[in-house]
Amino acid sequence: MASTAISSGLQQLQETLNGSLEGHKLASMAKDTKDYNNPNARLTTDYGVKQENTDDWLKVVTDDKTGPSLLEDHAAREKIHRFDHERIPERVIHARGAGAFGTFKLHKSLEEYTTAGVLTDTSRSTPLFTRFSTVVGSRGSADTVRDVRGFAVKFYTEEGNWDIVGNNMPVFFIQDAIKFPDMVHSAKPEPNNEVPQAQSAHNNFWDFQYLHSEATHMFMWQQSDRGIPRSYRMMQGFGVNTYTLLNAKGERFFVKFHFTPQLGVHSFVWDEALKLAGQDPDFHRKDLEEAITNGSYPKWDFGVQIIPDGQEHDFEFDILDATKIWPEEQVPVQYVGELELNRMPDEYFTQTEQVAFCTGHVVPGIGFSDDPLLQGRNFSYLDTQLSRLGTNWQELPINKPVCPVMNNNRDGQLRHTITKGTVNYWPNRYEATPPAKKEEGAYIDYPQQVAGMKQRLRSKKFQEHFSQAQLFYNSQTEAEKSHIAASFSFELDHCDDPVVYERMSQRLADIDLGLAQSVAEMVGGSVPQKAGRPNHGKTSRLSQTQFQPKNPTIETRRVAILIADGFDAVAYNGIVAALKAAKAVPYTIGPRRSAIYAAGEQKGSSKGVTPDHHLEGMRSTMFDSVFIPGGADSVATLRKSGRALHWVREAFAHLKAIGAVGEGVDLVRDAAALPGVEFSSSESVVDSYGVVTASRTKPESFKEVLKMAKGAADFV
Ligand code: HDE
């Protein structure tokens, strides 16, 4: 096929990238890319023959009589046959996800600890693909459910692919990989009726959590606001497992990987997340796409925590236990690089669905540790790709490394590479394709001394399960703590087996008596009278309120502007311009999606403003903030609309910044007819409960409103 728009677009991009690694990856993908939106292309069969009719099966037919369809129609059979086999098995977990391409830049070399080029060469720009996901739900489930989020990054480095297959929480439910199938079975829909979908709020999940006290720390994270992130762009990423780094002197270091979002960590409130699951199940997917397409590229600071070999036993916890963090106060995070996402995939299936991450994919200078969860993962990821993608999945464009690949792994179903040569084994008489030497960049395994009894046991420090659960809870703000209590109350209310909610209420007393008592009362468990163990009272930097941007911004925040006929054009245009200038994303919402006319404008003499959506089509949940410009007729219409009042009330209940000017303030006042909530009607700018109102429209009002909207970033 002639060079098409997409592949030539990719090629152009590649040329501008000037022979860089990113250019290399793009060029390699361009070879496999075809443009369907090309008016010069023609429909063909899979074997390349142009087709004149793909709408009617070849059949015996006259003007008034339809006879049998003919088996001889190969093109029709091919079309149906290909359709019949379109589906592949979804990921056994993390089935629902969204991906994006990006770049990794290193600011500070880690050569003291590693030889890995990607972590030592500050002149490099390493291309990458990131896939975010929920864990429990099926591929078609909702984005905003309470769950852990996957944060998987494939770095296409000069020395081969390096995958960090992480999550948005730094710990995990279990310590030993052999428990994984039990754990996942308990979280997935129950086996008898396949209920519930994408929920941890059911008997089996909480039964397992109680029976595995090692899960206590992790379920506190999952029940916290971290379980309902506002955006993939606003969550942390953690490698979770302990890896190792190896430097040029052959010294080894233990390492944990961190990604901290430059936009800060933000979450929904639960009511919002629940509603969004129905109102817009693709909310996170669309959010990522909206930001990248608008050029507001999400960025994370990349950091490492490092413990030198020999110091691994200096901690009260085992540094190989994935249910434990390394508190930052004990092992600081060194931020050394930046990950940016800047390009959406061209096609979901071939890129986001077919990407195959493996914890086993490490590059020279990076290695594993004896973390028993990681060791099992190293088997599982390689293995699972086989049932999802078949053999030769490494050759799919999204999975191909940017460096040369050559070995004697051959054949298998759907092999693409054609390897020339007369031998396919090593050693061979030609000395063809010999193994690499260390100085040629070969992967070197650390010569680790190992001794011990072969046993099905866990070592001593792995037996302590509550200390860091307390540490996490103690570190939360009062608002975050109340969200945790509300979350347990919701989840355990969905468990109808008293054994489950009774026991879980008792378990919470191992963390905090007050928490256990409030949850037990809500869910009908017997109320614990004394703490299961004393609280050590320690805290760490674990509240998400401590991960906020240095310069708060409303960039990428979605602001709904409510208007009806007769709106104040000065106020409307002013706020739209101010929001755009601040790189926020304004959406105009009206009672209908056909033109709305400003005060003094006439249908016919003016085009009016065409809203992006109408009040029934989108709900306040889909926006970060609501603004109501003045205009007597506009506001009178909105004040009569139950939906408009609900919009403002709901936004208020979800702690969103609300702004109103001129008569718009009256709508806020109507909506705020709640006990104990009062809004002044004075002419100056009023800021109370996160609501900014200014009865007189003046430029300063917009500034105040914007300031408040920025403040919205602080609501957790
Ligand atoms: Fe995974 N996990 N996992 N996991 N995991 C998979 O691999 C597994 C664990 C994580 O976007 C599977 O390709 C075992 C921890 C992410 O494609 C599977 C254990 C962490 C993704 C698998 C764990 C993760 C997966 C399913 C316990 C955070 C999605 C499909 C030992 C550090 C990757 C696949 C993507 C996916 C196994 C525990 C993160 C079955 C056995 C801990 C982000 O191989």
Tell me the DSSP string of 496-555. --HHHHHHHHHHHTTT-HHHHHHHHHHHTPPPP-S-SS-------S--GGGS--SS---T
Contacts of 418 (CB under 8 A, 6+ apart): none
Q: Is residue 357 part of a domain?
A: yes
Which atom of ligand 1 sits closest to the CA of residue 91? Answer: 30
> How remote is the CA of residue 461 from the centroid of ligand 1, in Å?
25
Residue nearest ligand 1's atom 41 by CA: 377
- CATH code of the domain covering residue 492: 1.20.1370.20
Which two three-digit tokens encode residue 249? 């002197």
Cα distances (Å, whole numbers) of residue 354 to 32, 147, 367, 387, 456? 14, 23, 25, 12, 36
Taking residue 6's Cβ as centre, other Cβ atoms within 10 Å add up to 18
133 close to ligand 1 (CB < 6 Angstrom):
yes
Nearest to 251 by CA among 517, 448, 477: 448
End-to-end CA distance of the chain: 52
Q: Is residue 262 part of a domain?
A: yes
The domain tally of the chain equals 4
Q: Left, alpha or beta for 568 (phi > 0: left; psi -120 to 50: alpha)? A: beta
Of 546, 571, 586, the domain-final residue: 546
Which atom of ligand 1 sits closest to the CA of residue 381? Answer: 44
Q: Given the structure tokens 């991009």, which residue do they identify?
A: 13
* Torsion sign across C-alpha atoms 328, 465, 223, 285: positive
Whether residues 600 and 513 fall in one domain: no
Q: Which of 353, 381, 386, 396 to mutate to test the pocket of ligand 1 (most atoms within 8 A of CB)?
A: 381
Q: Note down the domain range covering 498.
A: 468-546
CA of residue 576 relative to chain centroid, distance: 29
Whether residues 587 and 478 fall in one domain: no
Q: Longest C-alpha distance within the chain, in Å?
A: 92
Contacts of 19 (CB under 8 A, 6+ apart): none
Which atom of ligand 1 sits closest to the CA of residue 373? Answer: 31
Q: Could you give the CA distance from residue 630 to residue 659 in angstroms, rounded to a whole number?
A: 11
> How remote is the CA of residue 58 from the centroid of ligand 1, in Å?
47
Of 498, 524, 546, the domain-final residue: 546
Q: Could you give the CA distance from residue 667 to residue 573 in angstroms, rounded to a whole number?
A: 19
Q: Which of 167, 241, 399, 474 is catalytic?
A: 167
Residue nearest ligand 1's atom 16 by CA: 150
Whether residues 370 and 232 fall in one domain: yes
- Reported ipTM exceeds the 0.90 cut: yes
91 close to ligand 1 (CB < 6 Angstrom):
yes
Say which amino acid occupies 689.
Answer: Y
93 close to ligand 1 (CB < 6 Angstrom):
yes
Strands 97-106, 66-69: pairing kind = unpaired
> How remote is the CA of residue 210 from the centroid of ligand 1, in Å?
22
304 and 110 in contact (C-beta within 8 Å)?
A: yes
The neighbouring-strand residues paired with 613 are 589
Which two three-digit tokens encode residue 390? 């078949």
Say which amino acid occupies 715.
Answer: F
Q: Is residue 54 part of a domain?
A: no
376 close to ligand 1 (CB < 6 Angstrom):
yes
What phi and psi, each to the nearest 5 degrees, are found at residue 578? -65, -40
Whether residues 35 and 164 fall in one domain: no
20 close to ligand 1 (CB < 6 Angstrom):
no
Cα distances (Å, whole numbers) of residue 460 to 215, 292, 318? 17, 47, 9
377 close to ligand 1 (CB < 6 Angstrom):
yes
Neighbour-count burial of 223, counting CB atoms closer than 10 A to its CB (0-12 exposed, 13-18 middle, 19+ buried):
buried
The neighbouring-strand residues paired with 161 are 156
373 close to ligand 1 (CB < 6 Angstrom):
yes
The neighbouring-strand residues paired with 368 are 243
- CATH code of the domain covering residue 330: 2.40.180.10
Of 395, 423, 457, the domain-final residue: 395
Q: Is residue 278 part of a domain?
A: yes
Whether residues 599 and 526 fall in one domain: no
Q: Could you give the CA distance from residue 703 to residue 687 in angstroms, rounded to a whole number?
A: 12
> How remote is the CA of residue 151 from the centroid of ligand 1, in Å?
10
136 close to ligand 1 (CB < 6 Angstrom):
no
Q: Could you give the CA distance from residue 369 to residue 148 in angstroms, rounded to a whole number?
A: 24
Q: Is residue 513 part of a domain?
A: yes
Whether residues 107 and 152 fall in one domain: yes
357 close to ligand 1 (CB < 6 Angstrom):
yes
Residue nearest ligand 1's atom 24 by CA: 166
* Residue 381 marked as a ligand binder: yes
Question: CA 285, 288, 292 angle in degrees (round to 5)?
Answer: 140
Nearest to 651 by CA among 225, 230, 272, 274: 272
> How remote is the CA of residue 213 from the centroid of ligand 1, in Å?
21
Which atom of ligand 1 sits closest to the CA of residue 383? Answer: 44
Say which amino acid occupies 584.
Answer: A
Contacts of 509 (CB under 8 A, 6+ apart): 516, 517, 528, 530, 531, 532
Q: Which of 148, 236, 357, 389 to mutate to test the pocket of ligand 1 (most atoms within 8 A of CB)?
A: 357
Which atom of ligand 1 sits closest to the CA of residue 97? Answer: 11
Whether residues 541 and 569 fall in one domain: no
What SS3 state is found at 99?
A: strand
Q: Which of 38, 74, 94, 428 is catalytic?
A: 94
Whether residues 266 and 386 fall in one domain: yes
Q: Could you give the CA distance from residue 70 to residue 76 in angstroms, rounded to a whole number?
A: 9
Whether residues 535 and 629 fall in one domain: no
Q: Could you give the CA distance from residue 669 to residue 285 in angstroms, rounded to a whole number?
A: 35
Q: Is residue 67 part of a domain?
A: no
381 close to ligand 1 (CB < 6 Angstrom):
yes
- CATH code of the domain covering residue 670: 3.40.50.880
Whether residues 594 and 533 fall in one domain: no
Whether residues 541 and 626 fall in one domain: no
Q: Could you give the CA distance from residue 421 to residue 423 in angstroms, rounded to a whole number?
A: 6
> How remote is the CA of residue 61 from the centroid of ligand 1, in Å?
54
Q: Could you give the CA distance from residue 613 to residue 610 in angstroms, rounded to a whole number?
A: 9
> How remote is the CA of residue 535 from the centroid of ligand 1, in Å?
33
* Residue 167: active-site member: yes
Nearest to 105 by CA among 299, 366, 378: 299
What phi and psi, each to the nearest 5 degrees, are found at residue 41? -80, 155
Residue nearest ligand 1's atom 25 by CA: 94
What are the start-end ranges of the H helices in 59-137?
74-84
Whether residues 577 and 499 fall in one domain: no
Q: Could you give the CA distance from residue 370 to residue 61 in angstroms, rounded to a whole number?
A: 70
> How remote is the CA of residue 102 from the centroid of ligand 1, in Å?
21
Q: Mean pLDDT per segment of 10 residues, for the chain of length 716 residues?
A: 46 58 83 90 96 97 95 97 97 98 98 98 98 98 98 98 98 98 98 97 98 98 98 98 98 98 96 97 98 98 98 98 98 98 98 98 98 98 96 97 96 95 97 96 96 94 98 97 98 98 97 98 96 97 94 91 96 92 96 96 90 97 94 97 94 87 89 62 54 56 53 38
Q: Is residue 431 part of a domain?
A: no
Residue nearest ligand 1's atom 7 by CA: 381
96 close to ligand 1 (CB < 6 Angstrom):
no
Which atom of ligand 1 sits closest to the CA of residue 172? Answer: 42
Q: Is residue 634 part of a domain?
A: yes
384 and 360 in contact (C-beta within 8 Å)?
A: no
Residue nearest ligand 1's atom 23 by CA: 377
Residue nearest ligand 1's atom 12 by CA: 381
